[in-house]
Amino acid sequence: MSRRALRALPAVVLAMLLAGGWELYVDLAGVEPALLPAPHDVASSLWNSGDLLLRNFRVTAEEVLLGLALALVVGFALAVAIHLSPLFRRAFYPLAVGSQALPIPVIGVLLVFWWGFGILPKLAVIALICFFPVVVTTVDGLAAVDPDQLKLLRTLDASRWQAFRLAELPAALPAALSGARIAIAVGVIGAFIAETTTPTSGPYPGLGREIITDVNFQMPRAYAGTVVLFGFAIACFYALSLAERKLAPWTTRPRGELH
């Protein structure tokens, strides 16, 4: 077995144990399938509705990835502005915190009114949910630059912009990527919220919308869709960890563990 597969083993074993316990619970307690389907029902639904789930998943995946990209760009720009301007920090930071308490349905109708039934309202919702961790971690990353380092750059005649580009920006990169890893984890549920609050035209409205429909009529498929979202969030998180290692190799971790 390869080393990477070996590292995934504990997670796989734990997931199988949990699924086993779940299966036993449903069988022994005689739980209604409409309430909690057994894992084997979920698995067969995943298999039988694979095509439907996959097409909806593509829609959701596109929303999540584009929404996260938007959140990264906006979050990073806001973090830089906060770092450079104390006035902007004082004006904006409280609002950014407050924005995280915003119940999305409150603005859902407005977003649809502005941008219709396409992907744009979803991106706005996901970006709104995801930008915050990026801002917080990046601001801290920018502030953590050694002041002596900036002093040194000054004696080398570096301009403010050069000091920013040579010292602060690279120092903030790993922090921003850490923020992105937190963001992607909430971004998937963000897509669910986006799809269920802003309607979509077209045959495949995304996994979130599909799950909400299935909850009422096809509980095993709702669970099957949830399993897909689960896997997607995990895959995205580790893809970002890998990206961080490639983009910021100087932040080595003990034993090269991804987490």
Q: At its nearest, how many Å lie between other proteins and the CB of residue 42?
A: 46
Q: At its nearest, how many Å lie between other proteins and the CB of residue 133?
A: 23
Q: Which stretch binds other proteins (CB under 8 A): 12-20, 73-81, 156-164, 196-204?
A: 156-164
Give dist(CA 124, CA 107) in Å, integer: 10
Using DSSP, state whether 118 is helix, strand or coil: coil
Total number of residues that touch other proteins (CB under 8 A): 21
Q: At its nearest, how many Å lie between other proteins and the CB of residue 157?
A: 6
Q: Does 40 bind other proteins (CB under 8 A)?
A: no
Contact by Cβ (8 Å): 240, 185: no
The residue among 74 and 248 lying less far from other proteins, judged by its C-beta, is 248
Query: By rule CB under 8 A, what string of x and - marks binding of each residue 105-144 to other proteins?
Result: ----------------------------------------
Contact by Cβ (8 Å): 123, 67: yes
Give dist(CA 224, CA 49) in Å, integer: 9
Map tokens 């949830």 to a residue. Answer: 226
Give dist(CA 30, CA 244) in Å, integer: 46
Give dist(CA 96, CA 7) in Å, integer: 38
Q: Is 181 exposed, middle or buried (0-12, 13-18, 19+ CB in 10 A)?
A: buried
Candidates 2, 87, 155, 201: give the one binding other proteins (CB under 8 A): 155
3-state secondary structure 128-186: HHHHHHHHHHHHHHHHCCCHHHHHHHHHCCCCHHHHHHHHHHHHHHHHHHHHHHHHHHH
Interface positions, 229-258, toward other proteins (CB under 8 A): 248-250, 252
Interface positions, 169-208, toward other proteins (CB under 8 A): 170-171
Q: At its nearest, how many Å lie between other proteins and the CB of residue 257?
A: 18
The residue among 116 and 170 lying less far from other proteins, judged by its C-beta, is 170
Candidates 19, 77, 84, 166: give the one binding other proteins (CB under 8 A): 166
Q: Does 90 bind other proteins (CB under 8 A)?
A: no
Q: At its nearest, how many Å lie between other proteins and the CB of residue 57?
A: 37
Q: Is 202 exposed, middle or buried (0-12, 13-18, 19+ CB in 10 A)?
A: exposed
Q: Does 167 bind other proteins (CB under 8 A)?
A: yes
Q: At its nearest, how many Å lie between other proteins and the CB of residue 154?
A: 6
Using DSSP, state whether 100 is helix, strand or coil: coil
User: Which residues would be at the binding site for other proteins (CB under 8 A)?
Assistant: 146, 148-149, 151-159, 162, 166-167, 170-171, 248-250, 252
